Chains A and B, each alone.
With several copies, the nearest count.
Chain A
Amino acid sequence: MQLTLSEDQIDFQDMVARFLEASSPPTEVRRLMATESGYDPEVWRRLSSELGLTGIHIPETWGGSGFGPIELGIATEQMGRYLYCGPFFASSVMATYALLQMASDEAKTALLPGLAAGETLGCLVLDDLNDPVKVGSSLAADASGHLQGTAPLVVDANNADLMLVVARETGGLGLYLLDLLEIQDTPANGLRITPRQAIDETRKLCRVSFDHTPAVRIGDVTRQGLNRLWDHIIVALAHEMIGGAQRLFDSTIEYTRLRYQFGRPIGSFQGLKHRCADLLVQLEFARSVTFHAAACLDAGNEVAHEPAMAKAMASDLYMEVARTAIQLRGGIGFTWEDDTHLWFKRAKSAEVFMGSPHLHRERMMTMLEAIS
């Protein structure tokens, strides 16, 4: 199994980094997070068409580049590092993976090219963002494909052109499609998309509710399939967290070198040194496991504990780094003016997004028990 990035992958990483370094500096992050849509369409266009990030993991048949979870992870890691503001995670990770893994070929053929090109924006509606087992508990579809119920947290629903919904149905779960451009014309469609205030303002959240809303069934959802989808999403998320954590860690170390108190750089105090050394171990651990989890998905391993493990470790690590990043900056680190809180809020939000660490540890144990 692949252990390190290939030269091509490193080149790709550098390209994404350079692009985001230029297009997503903190000033832009602050500007965009205060807007309703939360992103810059021109940057999105370049990211999609020039860099091809939106289709990186989509097979060439459907307009993508045919790479896999490792390349997608490279992209989300850099997005986490630069706190890229835009619907990439909602559309290219969540919605695209849902289509890739669960939709009929017909639906894939119809929808994936638009997503690959970044010309349509998708979002994935799950009524529970904690645990795949709980999905379907408050959102249901009737036999005629009408949806009923509420999803309290949907990322970037406000920006979506199409909505993929996992809903309970007789005998299981199904994947449903709402074309939002089309449905606007349907009178009394029962769809409500309400923007919500988020801890992490760089990622837009909505509440989505359906009241006898007409939708099209485009795929079967098994519990195993849902788990697999979940695992693909959390590995991309773990990469994003590693990217953010690395950035905060580097800037914090730099800060301790430059900041003087009591006539010496604070980085020379052993208390801080030991804390940073412990963090580095955690960071290396979470990074190795996350890359490995992507490699496992890439290799097509059916049930693996690695994604859950990666999400749990990356979450704990990112929060710990974020906490330390504020703490070592002292009062200034707690101000709005300083950029640290932007990453802190992403860390806090990502910690609970798609399952808290303790929940993934429990999932991981269940899988490990099943193996041996």
Chain B
Amino acid sequence: MKDEDIRKELESWLDEHWSPDHSLVAWRSILVDAGWAATHWPTDFHGRGFTSQQAQLVQQVFANRNIVPAASSSPRGLAAETILAHGTDEQKARYLRPILTGEHAWCQLFSEPGSGSDLAGASTRAALRDGQWVINGQKVWNTSAHHADFGILLARTNFDLPKHQGLSYFLISMHQPGVEVRPLRQMNGHASFNEVFMTDAVVPAGDLLGGEGNGWAVAATTLSYERQSFRGSRRSAVNLDLPGRVYEEYAREQAIANEPYSWYPQREGRVDLVMSRARETGAIKDPAIRQEIARLLSMQQANGLTAAVAEAKRRSGSNEIVPSGSIGKLAASIIARQAAHVHTMIAGADAMAAGPDSAVDGMIAEVLLSVPAISIAGGTDEIQRNIIAERVLGMPKETRSDTGPFRDIKRNA
């Protein structure tokens, strides 16, 4: 199908069906029924089998016309793509539609306190009892778990197999007595994450995804989608300040979805504020500070260029090894650290203060207390360096200490 044909068909369909007076769910139901909610999905499941270029074109039309799209916030999207890839027809039929309409919110239950850098070391236990899976264990770093209806869960069904082989992947209802969600406050005062405690929580046999013992392969699908969304913007392309019920409800949904990420720009160091701060405070005249600003802005621009070059090469289908996401992630960490250093130098003693009456309405203080997260979240700097060294540079791996049956591997109590 030609791009122009797609555009024409969609535009005329929208002319006919779009109205800001729908409820959010009603509008998205119309979208799903007409096959415009997830056009890159297969025709059997709400889609049109479009290529990702075609799907992007569709999104562009929605954005241009300022029309509310199907629900796609992060953990929701990861769940949908993973179910699409590994689910049975029954699972797809049951779970995909309410994800697109926004009726079901999802969360991701992978990380555990005992296995932060080592997802495959999960020790949450899933045991089949009386035809259903009984789950016991603790998960952590679960964004939006307190708003979620369902979770994608990585748990161990066999402790006698090597660690990657004993894992299974489940779709778990968050609304049950065995699941307790507690907010987890961070050192910067925000509480963007949760801990999830599962005590004899239950998953019906039909909600095992991808088969017993295949959890790591299924999780790999989720993680690969997660990495792809790393560079994407979290902000909706739609202007939310328009009249109409669907806009109001969508704005509310977006506010909830974005709330955990409000401090993320600070976590990256707010390089954008550096020059104006240096001018306001007069720090721009301090040669020692100028050196550090120059280093920071150099790295920042270099990182942007490096990413643009990688993107250009990817698009041109070049065979050259393109530095992976790990380089960008490690770079972001180095930049944020230097930004915090520079903001500290610029502020001087004022950096002792926090809150609304401190520099940039407390934003500088929030930077100083948020940057330590960027070198940890989503894989520590140390893990990124290992990946770069082994996968990009081809340096030899170390002998592993975590082979053999999982139960014999030394791990945290």
- Of B275, B301, B382, the most chain A CB neighbours within 10 A belong to B382
Q: Evaluate contact between A273 and B288: CB separation under 8 angstroms.
A: no
B347 contacts the other chain (CB 8 A): yes
Find the A residue at minimum CB distance from B346: A356
- Interface hits, B377-399 → A, CB 8 Å: 377, 380-382, 384-386, 388-390, 392-399
A240 contacts the other chain (CB 8 A): no
Find the B residue at minimum CB distance from A345: B369
**Contact partners of B327 in chain A: CB under 8 A:** 280-281, 284
Find the B residue at minimum CB distance from A371: B275
Q: Evaluate contact between B351 and A352: CB separation under 8 angstroms.
A: yes
Q: Evaluate contact between B331 and A281: CB separation under 8 angstroms.
A: yes
B295 contacts the other chain (CB 8 A): yes
Find the B residue at minimum CB distance from A203: B352
State which of B115, B118, B305 has its C-beta within 8 Å of the C-beta of A289.
B305
State which of A281, A287, A289, A353 has its C-beta within 8 Å of the C-beta of B334.
A281
A114 contacts the other chain (CB 8 A): no
Q: Evaluate contact between A334 and B412: CB separation under 8 angstroms.
A: no
B306 contacts the other chain (CB 8 A): yes
**Given contacts A256-B395, A263-B411, A289-B302, is CB(A197)–CB(B357) below 8 Å?**
yes
B255 contacts the other chain (CB 8 A): no
State which of A196, A262, A369 has its C-beta within 8 Å of the C-beta of B284.
A369
Q: Evaluate contact between B398 and A196: CB separation under 8 angstroms.
A: no
Q: Evaluate contact between B353 and A205: CB separation under 8 angstroms.
A: yes
State which of A271, A280, A292, A334 has its C-beta within 8 Å of the C-beta of B305.
A292
Q: Evaluate contact between B298 and A364: CB separation under 8 angstroms.
A: yes
Complex: A362 Cα to B297 Cα, angstroms: 12
A200 contacts the other chain (CB 8 A): yes
Q: A325 → chain B, closest Cβ, in Å?
A: 10
Q: Evaluate contact between A268 and B185: CB separation under 8 angstroms.
A: no
Q: Evaluate contact between A280 and B372: CB separation under 8 angstroms.
A: no
**Contact partners of A27 in chain B: CB under 8 A:** none
B134 contacts the other chain (CB 8 A): no
**Contact partners of A272 in chain B: CB under 8 A:** 382, 395
Q: A28 → chain B, closest Cβ, in Å?
A: 19
Complex: A313 Cα to B303 Cα, angstroms: 13
Q: Evaluate contact between B388 and A280: CB separation under 8 angstroms.
A: yes
Of B35-43, B86-94, B150-158, B309-317, the one contacting chain A is B309-317
Q: Evaluate contact between A333 and B376: CB separation under 8 angstroms.
A: yes
Complex: A262 Cα to B116 Cα, angstroms: 10
How big is the A interface, by class? Answer: 35 or more
Find the A residue at minimum CB distance from B375: A327
B33 contacts the other chain (CB 8 A): no
Complex: A352 Cα to B375 Cα, angstroms: 23
A285 contacts the other chain (CB 8 A): yes
B203 contacts the other chain (CB 8 A): no
A337 contacts the other chain (CB 8 A): yes
State which of B117, B140, B350 has its C-beta within 8 Å of the C-beta of A261.
B117
Complex: A291 Cα to B302 Cα, angstroms: 10
State which of B306, B313, B401 has its C-beta within 8 Å of the C-beta of A262.
B401
B184 contacts the other chain (CB 8 A): yes
A4 contacts the other chain (CB 8 A): yes
Q: B279 → chain A, closest Cβ, in Å?
A: 8
Find the A residue at minimum CB distance from B284: A369
A130 contacts the other chain (CB 8 A): yes
Q: Evaluate contact between B323 and A199: CB separation under 8 angstroms.
A: no
State which of B289, B301, B353, B380 has its C-beta within 8 Å of the C-beta of A309.
B301
A341 contacts the other chain (CB 8 A): yes
**Given contacts A285-B331, A288-B302, A361-B295, is CB(A270)–CB(B386) below 8 Å?**
yes
State which of B286, B308, B348, B356 has its C-beta within 8 Å of the C-beta of A352.
B348
Return the CB mask of B348-363 against A: 1 if under 8 Å, else 0.
1111111111100010
Complex: A65 Cα to B22 Cα, angstroms: 65
Complex: A345 Cα to B365 Cα, angstroms: 10
Q: Evaluate contact between B298 and A344: CB separation under 8 angstroms.
A: no
**Contact partners of B389 in chain A: CB under 8 A:** 267, 273-274, 276-277
Complex: A263 Cα to B162 Cα, angstroms: 12
Find the A residue at minimum CB distance from B187: A341
- Interface hits, A335-360 → B, CB 8 Å: 335-338, 340-341, 344-345, 348-349, 351-356, 358-359
Complex: A345 Cα to B351 Cα, angstroms: 11
B44 contacts the other chain (CB 8 A): no
A253 contacts the other chain (CB 8 A): yes
Q: Evaluate contact between A356 and B345: CB separation under 8 angstroms.
A: yes
Find the B residue at minimum CB distance from A130: B348
B410 contacts the other chain (CB 8 A): yes
Q: Evaluate contact between B306 and A257: CB separation under 8 angstroms.
A: no
B131 contacts the other chain (CB 8 A): no
Complex: A348 Cα to B189 Cα, angstroms: 16
**Given contacts A263-B411, A274-B389, is CB(A334)–CB(B115) below 8 Å?**
no
State which of A199, A327, A354 has its C-beta within 8 Å of the C-beta of B372.
A327
Q: Evaluate contact between B412 and A260: CB separation under 8 angstroms.
A: yes
**Contact partners of A359 in chain B: CB under 8 A:** 348
Q: Evaluate contact between A331 and B116: CB separation under 8 angstroms.
A: yes
Q: Evaluate contact between B121 and A261: CB separation under 8 angstroms.
A: yes
Return the CB mask of A56-72 against B: 1 if under 8 Å, else 0.
00000000000000000
**Given contacts A262-B402, A263-B402, A269-B382, is CB(A348)–CB(B395) below 8 Å?**
no
**Contact partners of B171 in chain A: CB under 8 A:** none
Q: Evaluate contact between B368 and A199: CB separation under 8 angstroms.
A: yes
B138 contacts the other chain (CB 8 A): no
Complex: A362 Cα to B344 Cα, angstroms: 17
Q: Evaluate contact between A262 and B118: CB separation under 8 angstroms.
A: yes
Complex: A284 Cα to B345 Cα, angstroms: 25
**Contact partners of B309 in chain A: CB under 8 A:** 3-4, 288, 291
Complex: A356 Cα to B323 Cα, angstroms: 29
Find the B residue at minimum CB distance from A372: B275
A31 contacts the other chain (CB 8 A): no
Q: Evaluate contact between B344 and A263: CB separation under 8 angstroms.
A: no
**Contact partners of A312 in chain B: CB under 8 A:** 294, 298
B290 contacts the other chain (CB 8 A): yes
**Given contacts A130-B349, A335-B184, A356-B348, is CB(A361)–CB(B308) below 8 Å?**
no
- Of A199, A259, A278, A291, the most chain B CB neighbours within 10 A belong to A199
**Given contacts A153-B353, A278-B385, A280-B393, is CB(A335)–CB(B305) below 8 Å?**
no
**Given contacts A261-B118, A330-B117, is CB(A288)–CB(B353) below 8 Å?**
no
Q: What are 11 A-B interface contacts by the 8 Å CB criterion?
A: A3-B308, A130-B349, A196-B355, A267-B389, A284-B302, A285-B299, A286-B302, A331-B376, A341-B187, A362-B291, A364-B298
The 3 closest A-B pairs by CB, nearest first: A263-B402, A197-B355, A341-B187
Other A-B pairs, 9, CB within 8 Å; known A264-B396, A292-B301, A326-B376? A3-B309, A4-B312, A267-B395, A273-B393, A277-B384, A277-B385, A278-B385, A352-B349, A353-B352
